[in-house]
Amino acid sequence: MPRTSAFLYPWDVNGDPAAAELVAGLGVQQVTLASAYHATRALTPRHPGRRIVTARHSAVYYPADPAHWAGSALRPAAQTWLPGEDPYGEAAAALGAAGLDVHSWVILAHNSRLGREHPGSTVRNVHGDHYPWAPCIARPEVRDYAVRLAAEAAVRPGTTGTELESCGWYGLEHPHAHDKIAGAPLGGYGRWLMSLCFCAVCEQGYAEHGADPQRLRARVRDLLAPAWEGRPVAGELTGAEAAAVTGWRAAAADTFQRETVAAVRERARERGLPGFRVLLHAHPGALALGANAGADPARVLEHADGVVLPCTGDDAARAEVLPPFAAHRRPHTVLAANFQIVAGMGGSPGTLVDDAAHAASLGATELRLYHAGLATADDLALVRHALDRLP
């Protein structure tokens, strides 16, 4: 059976004496446990003391070191909705005692609290609106924050690896409370145009890649204008315009990814953990945004140990994301196929055996199950049955 990890939050484990053994009993070898996570409202279907956890803002689930953050313009916030100073450490210890490896799960470029407090550090769209949930990864203060957070949140006691999510560009799409942005027919390309950043740093980047920032801004506005009247977006950027935009954004993402991975590796070296694995949640599409941010397969596999790829859906979805990375795989590269296992959230735990086999045929070497803490007992029963049947 391929190595398999289930995602969990600390609150899925802490306060529930049965949680760690239940997860180990699924047949997984690893848990990917949130150490730095964005705001969310989550179910805890089996917890003996609660059914809903409301994480009111992005936070770290361990005691941040003030010395590590000295001189930083941006800093993580502590959580206040779980008891104890180190919920991550408590959960990691319980999971380790149940025989499970623990990898940290770190969210980088998705932080609404940070954006509200520092709007100038966020993505600024072509109309001048700031996206508080989306720090601009090209900005030096954001890269400094991400490097510090990656190092501290990834390499925690009892942890043997990490998975970095949102390690790249974020944009318009965001599951926001009471979201009401679907009225205009933007389509996929229009949403990408609305995700382009026009802060001073990005405008300078476009200029360095051959585009006049003001002309580019006017062009993007013209392309988007029909959508505000109810019509499709009017075409696409020209070849030269697109090359300048994607060239700058790819370069910024590559720098961001390399610096954060290097920071984790250095911290792991300092802690005497030479085998500490560093994976990125990623997508091979140049226009991909969000949790699975766009990453050039050849370049990212030069410095990361592997990637976690979104594989929920039909065969075509997996065929889109796995082969581009498989083409650049080295002997120990991890290509983890990530499957949604919560039926109520669009997952299909009943087809996990067939889906995993298809992913393996396309190059997947490991499995990720999202999300054991959110899944019902029926979902987990199907997962347990599937893992028993995997070769």
The helix (H) or strand (E) run that includes residue 124 is: strand 122-124
Q: Compute the distance between CA of residue 22 and CA of residue 249 in angstroms, rounded to an integer.
A: 43
Write the pLDDT tens digit of every residue in 102-125. Answer: 999 999 999 999 999 999 999 999
Q: With bands split at pLDDT 50, 70 and 90, how would you rate the model's confidence at 217?
A: very high
pLDDT at 180: 82
- How far is it, in rounded angstroms, from Cα 73 to Cα 195? 24
H or E stretch including 197? none
Cα torsion at 335, 341, 344, 345 (round to 10°)?
A: -10
Q: How confident is the model at residue 136 (pLDDT cuts 50, 70, 90)?
A: very high
Which tokens belong to 66? Answer: 């003030």
Q: How far is CA 88 from CA 33, 79, 108, 301, 372, in A?
A: 8, 11, 17, 28, 16
String of DSSP letters for 292-329: SEE--HHHHHHHSSEEEEE--SSHHHHHHHHHHHHTT-
- Asked if 374 contacts 43 with a C-beta cutoff of 8 angstroms, the reply is yes
Check pLDDT > 90 for residue 249: yes
Q: What is the mean pLDDT of the chain?
A: 97
Dihedral, CA of residue 230, residue 192, residue 341 and residue 318, to nearest 10: 110
Domains of the chain as residue ranges with CATH = 3-124+135-179+256-389 (3.20.20.80)
